Structure formats: structure tokens, C-alpha cells
Structure 1
Amino acid sequence: MTPKRHHWRRARAVLVPVLAVPAALLAVPAAAGTGPHLQAAAAGWPTPTGQQNVSSTIQVSGTMDGRLVRYVGSGDLGDGGQDEGQDPLFDLANGATLQNVVIGSPAADGIHCEGTCTLKNVWWEDVGEDAATLKGKSSSQTMTIDGGGARKASDKVFQHNGPGTMVIRNFQVQDFGKLYRSCGNCGSQYARNVQVQNVTVTAPGKAIVGINTNYGDTARLSGITVVGDSSHKIVPCLKYKGVTSGEPSEIGSGPDSTNCLYKTSDISYQ
């Protein structure tokens, strides 16, 4: 099947959010990674503590702690479609952290990272166009997704448009197309890297990662648990020939010593 062209976006004007976010939602806990909300989430999908409608992109710099409030798109962010070019619910500046957030439906284009960023304990109940996208221009930037989960992604969960590295760890995903995709047809292409560590993947799904081997992408997989896929239909590492226009083509799959860096023992099935 030809991958959907949901990768390249024109530069858009920076939005000034009109949403008033309560100060309590922006409070940073004394010790990140602790507290009753995170402890409750550790056992499985969290129960949201409230709901906040988002009609204009929320700009995040520094650290924002959502306290497990569910954020839902409304107005221009609320059509629930898969159309290209949607704006995100959250736009993270270089160095920003977003934690303890539940993203409901509609989710628009989820989260954009403009450089190095961290998403900690973020949950997508029904992925929109994409759950999160790494943009930016620096080859040293790293987007880290630590904890949380995503489900109901008709195409991609995490999209990698800029250069640099994406780390996905301690995560769970179910009912999805690809957990990660290096942009197949961006106008500017780069060598991109992804690390997937300690992730539980529940069928149905197409692939854990999709990378462009012709641009030198690498994918490192470890500690992967696949649930409900007795026929092993979910491809751990799908290889593409990326392009700068038109559509990329699938050219293979499976571990090797150059691009898809894992062993069969790094993946277990339940």
C-alpha cells in the first residue's frame, strides 16, 4: 500500500494562544515523575482528572504539567480529520517538556516539537493526523517520549520531519499504522535516528518503525513486546527509499548491520 503523504508541511505563522490555561495546570511538581497522578497512570491507561477544550494552539516553553487533564480540540482544531497541514494542540519550544497530559478526540495534529523536547507520561486516546512531530533544524536535537501510550492511529503515531534523534521508551501503543515514521517525502531530507526501548505493541498494526535507508536513517530496537500478533504481521523495521517529491517506496524489512539495528531476540511475542 502506498504510504499516505502526511509528512511535509509549509512553515506556518506562530499562533498566539487565546486559551486561558489555569495556573494550577501549569504548576511543576516538586519531583517530576512522582505524585499520585503518575502512580495511578503507571498501572495502565489513566482516568483524566478533568477536560479542557483547545481552540488555539498552546505554546509551551519550560515545563508544563497537565495534571492528567484531557485536552480536546475545538473550533479550528476540532474537525477530527486526517487532512494535511493541521495545527497542533501543543507547540513545544526548543528545550520544553510536556508531562502528565491526556489528549482526547479530536486531537488535530497532536504535538509539535520545534527542537529538543520531552514528552513524559502523555497519553493519546485517539490519535489525530499524528500524535507528535519532531521538526526543528539541528542534527543534535533529540525528542524523548518517556512513558504514556497511544491508540487508534490510522496512520503514524510519531512523525520525524527534521533531523536528529527520536527516543521512544516505556511506551505502549495499540491499533495503529506505524509507531514511528521518518518523513518519506519531505522537501528537505536528513539522516534521522530512532531508538525504541521497552515498548509494548498491541495488534492490529503495520510496523513499529519506518525509515529511509537511502538517507542513512538508523533504528535501534530493544525490549519490544508484541501482543496479539501470533502471525507476526507487524513489521519491526520497515525500509523505504525516501524522496523529496512524490511518494516513497518500500524496499525491504528486517534486521541488518547498517540501518535496522536489532536482533530477533530483542522482540518477544505474547
Structure 2
Amino acid sequence: MFFKNFIKLFLIFVFSLIFQNILSFGPPAKRNIKLNDTLVINKDFNCNFTRYIPNIQTMGNGGRGEFQKPVIQVSNGAKLLNCIIGARKGYKSADGVHCINGCKLINIWHEKVGEDAITFLGSNPNNLFIIDGGGAQNAEGKVIQFDGAGIAKINNFYMKNVYEGICSCGNCEKQYKRRIEVNNLIVENLTAGQFIVAVNANFNDYAILKNIKIKGKSKENQRIKSIHVKYLMD
């Protein structure tokens, strides 16, 4: 009897671990840090899987409103690694991560996307913005907003339960030619009829998409299956 109960408890434990792993998003946080203002990064910085939680009074509540503060700002080609962008319970995460004049974002996870998860800024046409690994979930708007000039390379990224994907700014006061390269992207439960990548045809934007995997409800949308790029026209 004891042996049977032991086996039963063991199986429940194993299946609970499997179930948690299926439902999990990104790595677990090792600690939480609450921010009252933007964390500014000008040189390589490893978060060591710290979860950063923005103050909703001083940085924004993560709604669709514009001009909220970023949780982290990275500039001048600095590398940001192993961060978790979190949010206060019941809210979303202000304006995520801003990259100015190039950056490398490696293994950055956005648990509750606010205004946007990631925004690329800067007027230099030689800017290089790199994302490698990481992901974003629960976005009511865009995941990646490309407002600056240059090239964005997004590799090995995961988007789950999001409204829109990666967007070249269509109505910025100052416009630039932009290039977006996406490789090894997993999209799960993208809102039906919305884009994975949107670029401006009238500014000669260029997008390359390779190895795009579409999962969940997104697969039911034939438009999303056949057309991954939306062309914006002013």
C-alpha cells in the first residue's frame, strides 16, 4: 500500500513539473528589484536573471499610452544580458527596453509587455541593433518598435500572446530607411489578421524573414501563414 501511494505521489510530482515547464515563459528570476526610474546602461551589463519591476506612479502603468519611461535604457552599442522585465501585479511593464544608437540584447525576457517591449532609437544610418534569444509575451500592442535608423537583427526570439510583432515606425516625425532581419522566430497566438513584421515601402525599408515558426491560434489564420510582412504607406 505504501509503495503504491509513493508511486502515485511521485507521478503527480513529475507531471506537475512537466506541466509547469510547459506553461513557463523564460527562466525563473533569481531576485526582484523595484525601480523608481529608468536603469541606464552605457556599458556591457549582465542582469544575472534579475527581474526589474517599474514603479507605476513614476514610470507608467504599462497601458497603451505613449511616452512612458523605459524600464532599462541601453546605448552606444552596449550589451545587455540575462534580464527579466517584469511588472507590478495587475499592471504591465511601462515601456520595456530602449536601445539608443545601437545595442545587443541577449536573453532578455519581457513577461508583461507594456507600451512596447523593445524600442530602437537613434538617427545614425549605421546603427546596429541586435536581439539574440529571449522573448516577449502578453502584449496588447507591438512587441518591437523600430523608430530610429539602421539595421535590426532579431535572432532566436519568442513571441507569445501578442497583438502585433515587429514594426518600423509609420508616423514618426523624423523618418529613416530601415532594414529588419529576422531569423528563428517563434510566434505563438499572434492576434488574427495582424502582422509579424511591418515596414514602410515608401521609405525603402527592407525586411528579410527566415525560419519563422507559427504556433497556437495564429496557425488558424491563413493570412498570417502566407504573408508575414505588412507594408505601411503614409
**CA distance in 2: counterparts of 1:204 and 1:89, whole angstroms:** 24
Match of 2:228 in 1: 236
- For the pair 1:77 / 2:59, whether they are aligned, the reply is yes
Aligned mate of 2:119, from 133, 144, 147: 133
TM-score (norm 2): 0.82
Match of 2:205 in 1: 217
* Runs of 4+ with >6 A deviation: none
Larger fraction in helix: 2
Match of 2:148 in 1: 162
**CA distance in 1: counterparts of 2:118 and 2:46, whole angstroms:** 17
Aligned mate of 2:93, from 107, 110, 125: 107
Contact 2:96 2:114 in 1 (8 A): yes
What amino acid is aligned across from residue 103 of structure 1 in structure 2?
I
Report how far residue 79 of structure 1 moved: 2.1
Match of 1:178 in 2: 164
Contact 1:196 1:222 in 2 (8 A): yes
**CA distance in 1: counterparts of 2:200 and 2:123, whole angstroms:** 18
State the Cα deviation string for residues 35-92 of structure 1 (Å, max 9, x = none). Answer: xxxxx9xx96211111111111111011111111111111312523221111111111
**Structure exhibiting the larger radius of gyration computed from Cα positions:** 2
Contact 2:62 2:113 in 1 (8 A): no
**CA distance in 1: counterparts of 2:115 and 2:210, whole angstroms:** 27
**CA distance in 2: counterparts of 1:223 and 1:203, whole angstroms:** 17
SS of match in other structure, 2:58: helix
**CA distance in 2: counterparts of 1:213 and 1:149, whole angstroms:** 27
Report how far residue 233 of structure 1 moved: 4.3
- For the pair 1:90 / 2:72, whether they are aligned, the reply is yes
Contact 1:178 1:210 in 2 (8 A): no
Report how far residue 135 of structure 1 moved: 0.5
SS of match in other structure, 1:156: coil
Structure 1, unpaired ranges of 5+: 1-39, 243-270
**CA distance in 2: counterparts of 1:232 and 1:154, whole angstroms:** 21
Structure 2, unpaired ranges of 5+: 1-20
* Percent sequence identity over aligned pairs: 35
Aligned pair count reads 201
What amino acid is aligned across from residue 211 of structure 2 in structure 1?
G
